[in-house]
Amino acid sequence: MIAVGLIGLLLGVVIASVALDIPLPEEWAAYLSLAALAGLDTAFGGWRAALEGRFHADVFVSGFIVNALLAAMLAYLGDRIGVDLFLAAVVTLGGRMFLNLSLIRRYYLNQWALRRQRG
């Protein structure tokens, strides 16, 4: 179920970037990249939670909103004081995203190995 949402998210990004050639100001680059990273982190976290049987839609939605807001606030604060604080959000969200993706991969590899053993 979560995989369908992730595929929809990626398809939406591709369609929007190709079909809707909307110019965006360069100043928004850090904020938009953090929003995309927060979205991917939340999607992979939701996928992992669904595989572990502990997915809750309210946690998923609130996690997306809180992650995106915190990342945007760090980027804004960093801009105001002249320090690249958005890098802290990039490292944290990126690290969690890769951790969740590795656990998802491990889950599917274990499932595949179990099917092979059963014959």
Q: What is the per-residue pLDDT for 64? A: 85
Residue 108 has pLDDT above 90, yes or no: yes
pTM of the model: 0.76
Which residue ranges make up each domain of the chain?
A: 2-118
pLDDT at 1: 56
Type of residue at 61? V
43 in Cβ contact with 5 (< 8 Å): yes
- For residue 50, what are its two tokens? 């669904």
